[in-house]
Structure formats: structure tokens, C-alpha cells
């Protein structure tokens, strides 16, 4: 049964992904514009629409995290295939560089300065990912330490009717502490996602940004379609 936060974010996400599909259509038109009739101002305007759309997602997501971070680890608004591709409730930042590399092998030509900056950003992003992975590992290990095991036993004792109000307060405080730790890590991961996206878009020229956004957006939309089709079979 879905709680209020899940229902609210489900409604938001379905509207958000629908708008993303509309932007994908615009990106593909710009991408397939072989005569280059779109001005740089028009391209930048389209890029701005996409970045604003993604920022709106994270604004809504962080609001939901503040109310129920655990809902983000079992998102009812995603299908199983989408969930399988996630890293700490979202896309893994380093995958963006694979998208850029795939474009380099097909249509996008980068100058030496761009290649150098992208590599510097990739190394920095990978460092941040590993830092968060280590923090998550420490968090998971801490879940199994002696103090947490004792709290789990105390929780079972309370639920069976054998504990008083003081015990319940201790258990609730511990759970709240765990949730705060998760919230901190999710937000850290989201910050890396946003910095990576902004960093890549700052390095690429407007036409290259459009190709990159068309590639990443098409993958996200298609992943959802594939997952829904398989899930509904």
C-alpha cells in the first residue's frame, strides 16, 4: 500500500517524464536539423529548458526525501528495469561519460581542450562516486554492529508488547538517525549527478550539448518504455 509521499511523487514523476518526452521530440528535431537553421540562441534556449526540467526533478525529490527517504529506495514510480539501473536512487554520474564517448565515435568531434577538460571532470566524478560508495559501505557495516543489533532486539520486544514508552523512543531515535544518514548520502549522490551534468554541458558547444541531451534523454525514455512493456507482459 502506497503512503502519501509515494502517491504524491508518483503523480509528479508521471507528469515530469511526460514533459521529458516532449523535450526529447524537440531535441531530436534540433539534432536532425542538418541545415543548421536553428540559431545558437535557440539551441541554448532548448538546453536551458532541459536543465531547468532536471532541476525541478531534484527539487521535488529532495522535498520527498525530507519526508520519507526510504520511499526513494523502493520507488513505486519506477519499473523493475529502471530500478536495476539505478545507483543510490538515480543514474550513476560516470555513465554520462560513456554517452559522450559513444557520441565521439559517431558524430561529435571534440577539440583537444574539450577532451582534456572532460577527462579531468571524469576523474573528479569517479573520485566522488568512490567516496560515496565507501560512505555507503561504512553505513551498511554500521547497521550490523552490536549497538544496532541490540536496538533491533529492543524493537522486536516493543512490538510484541513487552516494552514501554522509553524503549519506543530509543528505537524511533535510532531509526531517525539511520534515515538521516541515508538522506545525506542520497543528496551527496544527487549533487555529483548535477555537477557532472553541468560540467559536461559547460565543456560542450551548444550543438554538441543538444546531441548529448538527445542521447541521454532518449535512453531514459526508452528504458522506461522497455521496462513497462516487460513488466506488463
The pLDDT, as a whole number, for residue 37 is: 76
The pLDDT, as a whole number, for residue 36 is: 67
Mean pLDDT split into 10-residue runs, the chain, 233 residues = 91 97 96 79 96 97 94 94 95 97 92 97 98 91 66 60 58 75 94 98 96 96 94 80
Per DSSP, the three-state class of 90 is strand
Q: Report the alpha-carbon distance of residue 222 to residue 20 in Å, rounded.
A: 12
Residues 218-232 have pLDDT tens digits of 999 999 999 999 878
pTM attached to this predicted model: 0.89
Q: Provide the 8-state DSSP code for 35.
A: T
Q: Judge contact between 212 and 99, C-beta under 8 A.
A: yes
User: In Å, how far from its chain's centre is CA 102?
Assistant: 21
Ranges of each domain in the chain: 4-232
Count of CB atoms within 10 A of residue 32's CB? 8
Could you tell me which residues are beta bridge partners of residue 90? 87
Interhelix angle 146-159/165-203, rounded to 10 degrees, is 120
The pLDDT, as a whole number, for residue 160 is: 56
Rounded to 5°, angle at Cα 107 from 105 and 96: 65
Amino acid at each position: 500500500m502506497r503512503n502519501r509521499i509515494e502517491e504524491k511523487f508518483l503523480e509528479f514523476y508521471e507528469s515530469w517524464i511526460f514533459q521529458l518526452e516532449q523535450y526529447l521530440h524537440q531535441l531530436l528535431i534540433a539534432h536532425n536539423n542538418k541545415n543548421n537553421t536553428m540559431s545558437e540562441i535557440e539551441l541554448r534556449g532548448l538546453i536551458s529548458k532541459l536543465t531547468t526540467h532536471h532541476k525541478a526533478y531534484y527539487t521535488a525529490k529532495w522535498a520527498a526525501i525530507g519526508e520519507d527517504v526510504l520511499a526513494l529506495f523502493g520507488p513505486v514510480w519506477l519499473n523493475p528495469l529502471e530500478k536495476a539501473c539505478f545507483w543510490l536512487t538515480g543514474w550513476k554520474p560516470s555513465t554520462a561519460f560513456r554517452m559522450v564517448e559513444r557520441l565521439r565515435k559517431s558524430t561529435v568531434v571534440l577539440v583537444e581542450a574539450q577532451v582534456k577538460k572532460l577527462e579531468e571532470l571524469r576523474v573528479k566524478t569517479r573520485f566522488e562516486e568512490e567516496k560515496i560508495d565507501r560512505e555507503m559501505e561504512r553505513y551498511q557495516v554500521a547497521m550490523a554492529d552490536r549497538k544496532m543489533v541490540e536496538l533491533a532486539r529492543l524493537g522486536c520486544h516493543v512490538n510484541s508488547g513487552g516494552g514501554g514508552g522509553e524503549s519506543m523512543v530509543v528505537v524511533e531515535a535510532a531509526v531517525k538517525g539511520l534515515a538521516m544518514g541515508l538522506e545525506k548520502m542520497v543528496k551527496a549522490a544527487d549533487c555529483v549527478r548535477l555537477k557532472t551534468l553541468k560540467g559536461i554541458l559547460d565543456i560542450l558547444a551548444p550543438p554538441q550539448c543538444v546531441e548529448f541531451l538527445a542521447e541521454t534523454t532518449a535512453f531514459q525514455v526508452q528504458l522506461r518504455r522497455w521496462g513497462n512493456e516487460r513488466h506488463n507482459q
